[in-house]
Structure 1
Amino acid sequence: MMNTSTINRPQINAKIVHFGKLLKSVISEEFDANVEQMDDPEDFKRYLDQQSLLTLPDIILIEVDDNKNCFDQIREIKKNPLLQGLIIVLLGIKEDKNWRRQALDLKVNDYYTYPFPLEDFCERLNFLVKFKLIKPKLMELAQQVEVEYQTPFAKRAFDVVASGIALLLLFPLFIVVAILVRLESKGPVIYKSKRVGAGYRIFDFYKFRSMRSDADKMLDSIADLNQYANESDKKNSKAAFVKFKDDPRITKLGAFLRKTSIDELPQLINVFIGDMSLVGNRPLPLYEAEQLTTNEWSTRFLGPAGLTGLWQISKRGKKDMSETERKELDNYYADNYSILLDLKIILKTIPALIQKEEV
């Protein structure tokens, strides 16, 4: 008779190396996977030095507690060209913000504090392995999906005419805002970032800069402010979207630009050149798009990326806008967008521009 505990044991389709002592028994007993256990730093280093392309593990689990060499080990792995593609996940027993900050600085793939939901942990590891395999083909994937999605002619014509007229009328405002942004703080006037739009196509996304020039470097220190971080009831589960309440990186002028949505106006350039549409699903940063690759949520990328959309007119800036609600709104628009729906959204956008909360 088959043991039910074996049947229910989570499956990880990967070769794993675990370094550490405190969770050694947990890893060996709970995971039905090819896990190689090590607890001696010299043995661990020797093991990594002896690897070849044919013998490399997929995932390295490294314990942080009682491991003074933890972050040095990660640096050594990152330095080795052969090992740079390995998935590194840190495991801890006690919560330590300093350790998490160092982990983020070193760009490890994840950090879990025990006890954690086993199924959630295994699902995350399997996702990391799968994404590692598809990431080099991201541009190829974008080309394949883009063939299936084409902006309707009427929608594209409306976008070109409307965005062109808007850019001409708003040009004086652009000049004034550019001067004010430059006077308040050093750095570029226009903030440019990579975004993922329709068909997973990656493009440069434009906004008036509303944050300090070192905003990206402060992400790790304000991670606790992410309003989506605590939505899931699973400890250590990842939020797909990132949005901060009372973001300390925003400048005084930036707060005004955001509250009035003036910071979004340079995206009219994206609309005019065809990266986006006036109405659609908001294009996502790469780190958010990476987590929306399942069949359930990838639907949003089969519709146009937009300057405004259902999310903006329904619950923008409100505390009760959950991650699930936002995904569902995106999926609904991708399945049902039309000229009539676009006109309704545009008419409702102006009242929604003034946000009630600093998010």
Structure 2
Amino acid sequence: MTTSTINRPQINAKIVHFGKLLKGVIMEEFDANVDQMDDPKDFKRYLDQQSLLTLPDIILIEVDDNKHCFDQIKEIKKNPLLQGLIIVLLGIKEDKSWRKMALDLKVNDYYTYPFPLEDFSERLNFLVKFKLIKPKLLELAQKVDMEYQIPWTKRAFDLVASGMALLFLFPIFIIVAILIKLESKGAVIYKSKRVGAGYKIFDFYKFRSMRSDADKMVESMAGMNQYANESDAKNGKAAFVKFKDDPRITRLGSFLRKTSIDELPQLINVFIGDMSLVGNRPLPLYEAEQLTTNEWSTRFLGPAGLTGLWQISKRGKKDMSETERKELDNYYATNYSIFLDLKIILKTIPALIQKEEV
């Protein structure tokens, strides 16, 4: 072991470095997980592809010969997912105006090279240890919620329509509840945590259509996921989970799913404001964590819904790819209106009868 290796600063963090001038110093001197890039387009693409599961801990950005420096910082600060990351600027010449701009943008630190590498490493470790740099899903929800508010006309329609539907369908609720109890042990209503508009987490209601131990069987059935073999999933888990011919479904449950009767308790979610009649389907936590990149998080800036574009487009069909579903979700989030909602509602009834066990 050489002396230089022994004295090399230790940083227990994942680092991203943007710049050319100090590239050799960063890559050679620091024993850390460093992603190096010097092209602005590559840097932007890298940041856009990050999710809660892949976020770096520290972003080092060079100021010299980087006309995009302060714009890059502004973009990072604007993104709810990235704005909690540690940002440290590096320069090779002192410039008071740059320091002032960095101070105004509230970066974590600014170093001018040459500087003691051990001190620099110690400072980075300190920032990592005492800063909450990885936003949790709930923290992200609080920030995104400020950007998304359901229009009052949509909320009023949801309240009236779901209230009337619950009153009219009450006898069906009673009959289905009795049949579920007669067929198998377990709760009548299946309740799970879902992520909806603005990353809001809520209790999601359905009539139970599976065995009571269905959740425990998911991991052993990973190979049956119809989205698992797509190109988007090759470098990690698929964003969505859907099983064809799911063995966990009961005989009554199969009928409830084919007729979408199992979805009726979600009218309660609509009535209390967790969801809307029309929107993007609220996702389980493990699916939502896969969709926190800039590219796909747009879907959470629209309402969560009982029905939506992908349900009336290709629900249950083999050619409904994960990418297509995400694109439809993004489209609805940026284009939804009362007229589009009415069109989706009118097309939902024919889409309720599924041909496949999915």
Q: TM tier, shorter chain?
A: 0.5 to 0.7
> Counterparts in 2 of 1:73-112, with a 5 A limit?
none
2:142 and 2:172 map into 1 onto residues whose CA distance is: 37
Compared with structure 1, are the counterparts of its residues 233 and 242 closer, same or farther at alpha carbon in structure 2 (3 Å cutoff)?
Answer: closer
Q: What is the match of residue 192 of structure 1? A: 191
> Helix, strand or coil for the counterpart of 2:290?
coil
**How much has 1:214 moved relative to structure 2?**
0.4
2:212 and 2:278 map into 1 onto residues whose CA distance is: 29
The answer (yes or no) to whether the contact 1:193–1:204 under 8 Å persists in 2 is yes
> Helix, strand or coil for the counterpart of 2:190?
strand
Q: What is the match of residue 292 of structure 1? A: 291
1:255 maps to amino acid: S
**How much has 1:143 moved relative to structure 2?**
1.4
Q: What is the match of residue 78 of structure 1? A: none
1:135 and 1:196 map into 2 onto residues whose CA distance is: 18
**How much has 1:126 moved relative to structure 2?**
7.1
The answer (yes or no) to whether the contact 1:316–1:355 under 8 Å persists in 2 is yes
**How much has 1:307 moved relative to structure 2?**
0.2
2:52 and 2:268 map into 1 onto residues whose CA distance is: 39
Q: What is the match of residue 217 of structure 1? A: 216
Q: What is the match of residue 238 of structure 1? A: 237
Q: What is the match of residue 344 of structure 1? A: 343
The answer (yes or no) to whether the contact 1:14–1:126 under 8 Å persists in 2 is no
The answer (yes or no) to whether the contact 2:51–2:292 under 8 Å persists in 1 is no
Q: What is the match of residue 42 of structure 1? A: none
The answer (yes or no) to whether the contact 2:197–2:302 under 8 Å persists in 1 is yes
> Counterparts in 2 of 1:1-359, with a 5 A limit?
14=14, 34=31, 127=54, 137-232=136-231, 235=234, 237-359=236-358
**How much has 1:138 moved relative to structure 2?**
2.5
1:245 and 1:129 map into 2 onto residues whose CA distance is: 36
**How much has 1:148 moved relative to structure 2?**
1.4
1:137 and 1:244 map into 2 onto residues whose CA distance is: 28
The answer (yes or no) to whether the contact 2:226–2:244 under 8 Å persists in 1 is yes
Structure 1 unaligned residues grouped into runs of 5+: 1-11, 16-31, 36-56, 58-118
Structure 2 unaligned residues grouped into runs of 5+: 1-11, 16-28, 34-45, 58-80, 86-131
1:108-127 deviation digits (Å, cap 9, x = unpaired): xxxxxxxxxxx9xx989971
1:282 and 1:173 map into 2 onto residues whose CA distance is: 24
Stretch of structure 1 that moved more, 140-149 or 201-210: 140-149
**How much has 1:134 moved relative to structure 2?**
6.0
1:236 and 1:196 map into 2 onto residues whose CA distance is: 23
Compared with structure 1, are the counterparts of its residues 348 and 134 closer, same or farther at alpha carbon in structure 2 (3 Å cutoff)?
Answer: farther
Compared with structure 1, are the counterparts of its residues 251 and 245 closer, same or farther at alpha carbon in structure 2 (3 Å cutoff)?
Answer: same
1:125 and 1:169 map into 2 onto residues whose CA distance is: 42
Compared with structure 1, are the counterparts of its residues 33 and 185 closer, same or farther at alpha carbon in structure 2 (3 Å cutoff)?
Answer: farther
**How much has 1:33 moved relative to structure 2?**
8.8
Compared with structure 1, are the counterparts of its residues 206 and 351 closer, same or farther at alpha carbon in structure 2 (3 Å cutoff)?
Answer: same
Compared with structure 1, are the counterparts of its residues 295 and 207 closer, same or farther at alpha carbon in structure 2 (3 Å cutoff)?
Answer: same
Stretch of structure 1 that moved more, 210-219 or 224-233: 224-233
Q: TM-score, normalised by structure 2?
A: 0.65
Larger gyration radius, structure 1 or structure 2? 2
1:154-173 deviation digits (Å, cap 9, x = unpaired): 10000000000000000000
> Helix, strand or coil for the counterpart of 2:149?
coil
1:70-129 deviation digits (Å, cap 9, x = unpaired): xxxxxxxxxxxxxxxxxxxxxxxxxxxxxxxxxxxxxxxxxxxxxxxxx9xx98997166
The answer (yes or no) to whether the contact 2:198–2:300 under 8 Å persists in 1 is yes
1:126 and 1:202 map into 2 onto residues whose CA distance is: 18
> Helix, strand or coil for the counterpart of 1:207?
strand
The answer (yes or no) to whether the contact 1:14–1:34 under 8 Å persists in 2 is no
The answer (yes or no) to whether the contact 2:51–2:293 under 8 Å persists in 1 is no
Compared with structure 1, are the counterparts of its residues 217 and 343 closer, same or farther at alpha carbon in structure 2 (3 Å cutoff)?
Answer: same
1:161 and 1:124 map into 2 onto residues whose CA distance is: 37
1:164 and 1:124 map into 2 onto residues whose CA distance is: 38
1:338 maps to amino acid: S
1:270 maps to amino acid: N
The answer (yes or no) to whether the contact 2:190–2:207 under 8 Å persists in 1 is yes
1:297-347 deviation digits (Å, cap 9, x = unpaired): 000000000000001100000000000000000000000000000000000
Q: Percent identity?
A: 81
The answer (yes or no) to whether the contact 1:14–1:33 under 8 Å persists in 2 is no
Higher relative contact order (CA 8 A, sep 6+): 2
**How much has 1:14 moved relative to structure 2?**
2.6
